[in-house]
Amino acid sequence: MNNEKQRRLTAADIGVLRPKLIVGIGGSAGALNAYKVLLNALPSNTGMAFVIISHMNPTANSQLTKILSRHTKMTINLASMEMPILANHVYVIPPNADLLIENYTFKVISPRSGGHKQIDVFFVSLAEAMGVRAIGIVLSGYDGDGTEGCKRIKANGGKTFAQDMSAEVDFMPLSAQASGCADFVMPLDEIPGKLKSLAAAL
């Protein structure tokens, strides 16, 4: 589904296509392979939406959507202002932007607020917008982006994951684990099954 067609959906269509869960996936150094493995393991009909928050150079012309489209049958879009968030879709943060959620649509703030905190910014917004229907997944990367956001998701009733020792760069997932905010620590290929059981429990 292209962006124009997605924008023309009626309110009734969007209501039917709203995801059971919105899953934020945060990564930085070493996360590209993790995104690929996770998407390869995810079925295309989970009823969830997936939002990839990747640290990118502010001036980068992101090829991430094109690269990741080879690893899933789900539609992948670069997130844009007021784009509806639909089930069985994958969205990627634009370069040099903070991404927020408001009433099942995206809000894009550009330029980004500075530093590598895009994951925390999105996860906090996700927690506030979705409550128990929010999921945060912290993958490979340096520093501790994602930890504060995971705390907020957990506090609002959502669930959080950290990649296990399979992470190429383990600083970010270990930070989430050390804070006590990671509900599940597991390899990438086990995450889809756990997501399915969490959705079934809602």
Q: What is the pLDDT of residues 160-193, one digit of tens each?
A: 999 999 999 999 999 999 999 999 999 999 999 9
Cα 196 to its chain centre, rounded Å, is 16
pLDDT for position 56: 79
Long-range contacts of 189-195 (CB under 8 A, 24+ apart): 189/37, 189/41, 191/38, 191/41, 191/137, 191/161, 192/38, 192/41, 192/42, 192/43, 192/46, 194/161, 195/21, 195/23, 195/42, 195/46, 195/48, 195/135
3-7+15-200 architecture in CATH? 3-Layer(aba) Sandwich (3.40)
What does pTM read for this prediction?
0.92
**Both tokens assigned to 84:** 């509806």
Residue 8 has pLDDT above 70, yes or no: no
Tallying the residues shown for the chain, one arrives at: 202
